[in-house]
Amino acid sequence: MIIFEEKYYLWFLAVIPVLVVIFLFYIFWKRKTQKKFADRDLFNLLAPKRSAFKTNLKFIVLLLALACFVLALVNPKIGNKLETIKREGVDIVFALDVSKSMLAEDIAPNRLEKSKRIITEIIDNLAADRIGLIGYAGSAFPQVPITTDYASTKTFLQSMNTEMVSSQGTAISQAIDMSRSYYNDDDQTNKVLVILSEGEDHDENATDIAEIANEEGIKIFTIGVGTEKGGPIPIKRNGIIQSYLKNNQGETVITRKDTQTLTRIAEIGNGQYIDGSSTSTAVEKFTEALQKIEKTEFEAKQYADFESKFQWLLGFGIFLVLLDIMFLERKTAWVQRLNLFNERKNEDER
């Protein structure tokens, strides 16, 4: 397995196609200018040691050297050993509401960003637990399967938005139902589902599905984001509010947190309702509840003993630069005897 420690340096590789385009334009301009100066036969007599192949080779060598230096900065690492590590923990699936109502700003900065912050801080407090991620609005969709890769999960979490689902609404029941397929019954781990939403359930089947999930051993925690007073749903362009979402009668839609529904789902799921108004308080309450749940042993496979390989790329890049300086730039006698660049032919013709 290969990982890149400093991935942002990969952006420097974008310079290479730009340099290629510039070089091609230079070759085109050079040939056009030479034609104005003299025809091909005469130009070969005036510049007998000219070699287009040598120019192209030099450019390719320098590009390869540049690529090697960039990849050396990225610091690729290779895992040469696969270990199976025993862990004890709980399988936790986060179900995040990404409906339009989560854009309401009755809680700063808005409900969706508040939910992301709560999930992120919960993950930061975990140790050996496995986590998964589901998004839902009018329908549910899988985002991250059960994994111990916290960093990747947080990356996917931050990319979630209200445009990911075309069908709007808050189908909590579908999120609960999808979570049931996330857990691996063979591991016999304790199962936890955390639903983050304002609680406006649009399909009225959530309590029935929650009961089924509870019978399968899934504890359901609900975290309510928003306020009972509620707020309008802003429509923004370039970060600036243009208007607010309206219903078919032209009235501004006011979305409110439905604490009662969320509390009822948590009770049926043998879990707990948590108010998400304060990030730190919500994280603390969930962490305390999680510590009371019995941990189960499971196996997690991961690559270990990663070794940096940047030195090979750095060395090869330096070799290519020295090759260009010592053999392609200077007039080296033994290289000339090899006649790599048709120099002898040009001299004979002259």
DSSP string, 66-105: HHHHHHHHH-EEEEEEEEEEEEEE-EEEEEEE-SGGGG--
Q: What is the pLDDT of residue 309?
A: 79
- pLDDT tens-digit series, residues 101-150: 999 999 999 999 999 999 999 999 998 899 999 999 988 999 999 998 99
Band of pLDDT at residue 236, cut at 50, 70 and 90: confident
Residue 181 has pLDDT above 50, yes or no: yes
Q: What is the pLDDT of residue 330?
A: 52
**Assigned token pair, 221:** 């925690």
Among residues 252, 274, 223, the alpha carbon closest in space to that of 104 is found at 252
Among residues 112, 121, 127, 19, the alpha carbon closest in space to that of 64 is found at 19
Looking up tokens 């049931």 gives: 180
Q: How much is the mean pLDDT over the chain?
A: 84
Amino acid identity of residue 111, one-letter, is R
CA 104, chain centre distance (Å): 26
**Assigned token pair, 5:** 């420690």
Average pLDDT over residues 2-7: 77
Q: What is the pLDDT of residue 297?
A: 77
Residue 178 has pLDDT above 50, yes or no: yes
| Rounded to 5°, angle at Cα 139 from 112 and 196 | 30
Among residues 223, 136, 146, 218, the alpha carbon closest in space to that of 173 is found at 136
Q: What is the pLDDT of residue 350?
A: 47
Characterize 97-121 residue by residue with b for buried, 16 or more Cβ atoms within 10 angstroms of its Cβ, and e for exposed: bbbbbbbbbbbeebbbbbbbbbbbb
Residue 332 has pLDDT above 60, yes or no: no
The conformation of residue 253, written as its DSSP 8-state character, comes to P
CA 189, chain centre distance (Å): 28
Whole-number percent of the chain with pLDDT over 70 = 81
Amino acid identity of residue 171, one-letter, is A
Name the packing angle between helices 259-268 and 172-179 (round to 10°). Answer: 20
Q: By mean pLDDT, which of 46-55, 144-153, 190-199, 243-252 is the weakest?
A: 46-55
- pLDDT tens-digit series, residues 26-69: 888 877 776 776 666 655 555 555 555 677 888 888 899 999 99
Q: What is the pLDDT of residue 45?
A: 58
Band of pLDDT at residue 280, cut at 50, 70 and 90: very high
| Rounded to 5°, angle at Cα 193 from 92 and 170 | 135
Among residues 89, 135, 139, 88, the alpha carbon closest in space to that of 115 is found at 135
**Domain ranges in the chain?**
2-78+307-349, 91-294
CA distance 131 to 166: 26
Q: What is the pLDDT of residue 168?
A: 75
**Assigned token pair, 209:** 């599905």
Average pLDDT over residues 138-166: 91
**CATH entry 1.10.1420.10 includes domain 91-294:** no
**Assigned token pair, 162:** 């209200």
Band of pLDDT at residue 334, cut at 50, 70 and 90: very low
